[in-house]
């Protein structure tokens, strides 16, 4: 029957789509879990949070600003009218008038502070000025997920406050995970750069030392060749008939391989190089932190007009996630306030990654220092120097049992030296071999005690399963075999019975007749 190709292809399409979708989703999730994916998630989360807080808080801010502006106009009108009426009508002395006007001004000042605390109104233009601009909202979102919290703007409505709690609850772990990955990458890059720099410096030192050693050996060879000159009087240390003497006498230079450094010197320099490139010194890490803080202080000094002390103070308070909020870039109005906000956001994110990298490097250096101190005082042992305490005590016991003459002839057991044919190693083996046999026997006995009941239960269960499965089959096979035998043997039995009856009748009948005749005669 011919197959419809179009219907066949259309029918196979739904079976392929789920697998493609699953592979696409799997690839997408793997990309999001990568370092680049986490960075994109943090950036998108910050930008989305900025737009979300603008949507929730900008309208409330506009309402509060307009209400505070109206109250300010009413307060100004009231104090102006009251002061004018009092001055024009009152006949009090100047001192009394001064006290009354001062009370009016104090009431007006208290109204200003009240409007500032309740409505966060500082006399700005409500139509053109907003604290929830995109750059300011982005800085607020970044300070939330980085736990800095300047406090220059905060959500006022209950919707914005609940949203801020949920936003921080999700954003802080994501940012910390991204920060850990970025700091590890930066740490690897800095270790590579530092080790490359040290390798370059070590190579330069090796070349310099090799050239210097060659020059010294050439000078020694030249002074030795002077022994064969005309002005030398003395005994020759080398036979002039030897080729080496002829070579030195003719002024030929030795090969460069003969002037190389000794193997011990090379190994010593390799050890020094390995120790130097293993960890970054703490001093270098501290210089990195100081340099980044100074660069940020210079930038904010140029952009914000702060002094260098204030700029350094702001950079350190920001990078340490303290975030007092007394100095915030972009607060002062200007044409570059948005650029200053964005520059501060970038400085915060990169600075926290650099600071986390520096803390990791400092932690590694401190751990190495404590391990080195512990090894010096014998508190911590190296992996190569770890010795079984039982073997050590037993070896010392065997050594103490020897006579004084044997102790003089045989040195005490040294832990660093291999003892392949030593007597005390054999004694240790003899001591621990019975213990090993006992442990092996006990483990075999325990395994047998545990597994024997399980083996019996398994055997009984398997017999039951086999019996329940094969008993009906055995009965069916027996019935079928009986029926088959009966069907085959029944015709043969009938044929055999008929033939046997005829045979008996033919043989017996004459004898019966003869017997009957004989009996009659008798």
What integer pLDDT is reported at residue 44 of this predicted model? Answer: 95
What is the domain count for the chain?
2
Is 319 buried (19+), middle (13-18) or exposed (0-12) by CB count in 10 A?
buried
CATH of the domain at 361: 1.10.287.70
Cβ-Cβ contacts under 8 Å for 328 (sequence gap 6 or more): 139, 150, 152
With a CB cutoff of 8 Å and minimum separation 6, the contacts of 517 are: none
Q: What is the pLDDT of residues 454-494, one digit of tens each?
A: 677 766 666 776 667 667 777 776 777 677 667 766 776 77
In tens, the pLDDT along 133-168 reads 898 899 999 999 999 988 888 999 999 999 999 999
The Cα–Cα gap between 94 and 85 comes to 15
**DSSP secondary structure letters along 298-362:** HHHHHHH---HHHHHHHHHHHHTT----SS-TT-S-STTHHHHHHHHHHHHHHHHHHHHHHHHHH
Domain of 148 in residue numbering reads as: 28-191
**Is residue 180 located within the same domain as residue 319?**
no
- Flag whether pLDDT at 510 surpasses 70: yes
Of 130, 164, 191, the domain-final residue? 191
Residue 169 lies in a domain: yes
Return mean pLDDT, the chain: 75
Name the domain boundary from 349, 379, 409.
379
Phi and psi at residue 160, to the nearest 5°: -65, -35
Q: Which ranges in 120-157 belong to alpha helices (H)?
A: 134-145
Return the minimum-mean-pLDDT range out of 339-343, 355-359, 422-426, 464-468: 422-426
Domain edge (last residue) among 379, 408, 423:
379
Q: What angle do CA 52, 178, 344 make, to 5 degrees?
A: 60
Q: Does residue 508 sit within a domain?
A: no
* 3-class SS letters over 100-159: HHHHHHHHHHHHHHHHHHHHCCCCCCCCCCCCCCHHHHHHHHHHHHCCCCCCCCCCCCHH
Q: Is residue 87 part of a domain?
A: yes
Residues 377-425 pLDDT 10s: 877 766 555 545 555 655 665 666 665 555 555 655 544 444 444 444 4
């Amino acid at each position: 029957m011919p197959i419809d190709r179009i219907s066949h292809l259309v029918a196979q399409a739904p079976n392929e789509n789920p697998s493609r979708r699953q592979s696409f989703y799997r690839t997408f999730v793997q990309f999001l879990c990568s370092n680049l994916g986490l960075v994109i998630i943090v950036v998108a989360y910050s930008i989305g949070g900025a737009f979300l807080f603008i949507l929730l808080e900008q309208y409330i801010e506009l309402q509060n600003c307009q209400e505070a502006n109206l109250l300010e106009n009413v307060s100004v009108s009231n104090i102006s009218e009251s002061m004018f009426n009092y001055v024009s009508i009152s006949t009090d002395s100047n001192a009394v008038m001064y006290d009354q006007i001062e009370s009016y001004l104090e009431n007006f000042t208290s109204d200003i502070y009240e409007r500032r605390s309740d409505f966060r109104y500082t006399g700005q233009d409500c139509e053109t000025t907003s604290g929830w601009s995109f750059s300011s909202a982005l800085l607020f979102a970044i300070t939330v997920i980085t736990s800095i919290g300047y406090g220059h703007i905060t959500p006022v409505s209950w919707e914005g406050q609940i949203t801020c709690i949920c936003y921080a609850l999700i954003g802080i772990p994501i940012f910390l995970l991204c920060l850990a990955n970025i700091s590890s990458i930066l740490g690897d890059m800095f270790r590579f750069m530092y080790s490359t720099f040290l390798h370059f410096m070590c190579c330069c030192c090796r070349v310099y030392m090799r050239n210097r050693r060659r020059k010294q050996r050439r000078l020694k060879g030249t002074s030795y060749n002077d022994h064969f000159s005309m002005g030398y009087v003395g005994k020759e240390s080398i036979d002039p008939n030897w080729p080496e003497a002829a070579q030195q006498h003719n002024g030929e230079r030795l090969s460069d391989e003969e002037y190389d450094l000794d193997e011990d010197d090379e190994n010593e320099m390799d050890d020094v190089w390995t120790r130097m490139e293993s960890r970054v010194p703490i001093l270098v890490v501290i210089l990195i932190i100081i340099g980044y803080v100074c660069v940020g202080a210079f930038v904010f000094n140029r952009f914000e007009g702060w002094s260098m002390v204030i700029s350094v103070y702001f950079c350190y308070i920001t990078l340490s996630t303290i975030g007092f909020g007394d100095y915030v870039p972009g607060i002062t109005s200007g044409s570059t306030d948005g650029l200053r906000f964005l520059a501060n956001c970038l400085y915060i994110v990169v600075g926290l990654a650099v600071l986390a990298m520096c803390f990791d490097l400092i932690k590694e250096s401190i751990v190495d220092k404590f391990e080195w101190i512990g090894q010096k005082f014998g508190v911590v042992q190296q992996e190569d120097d770890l010795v079984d305490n039982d073997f050590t005590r037993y070896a010392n016991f065997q050594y103490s049992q020897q006579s004084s003459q044997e102790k003089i002839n045989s040195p005490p057991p040294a832990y660093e030296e291999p003892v392949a044919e030593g007597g005390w190693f054999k004694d240790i083996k003899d001591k621990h071999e019975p213990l090993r046999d006992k442990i092996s026997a006990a483990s075999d006995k325990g395994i047998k005690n545990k597994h024997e009941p399980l083996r019996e239960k398994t055997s009984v269960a398997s017999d039951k399963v086999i019996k329940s499965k094969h008993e009906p089959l055995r009965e069916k096979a027996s019935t079928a075999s009986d029926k088959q035998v009966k069907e085959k043997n029944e015709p043969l039995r009938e044929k055999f019975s008929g033939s046997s009856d005829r045979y008996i009748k033919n043989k017996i009948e004459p004898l019966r007749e003869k017997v009957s005749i004989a009996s009659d005669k008798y």
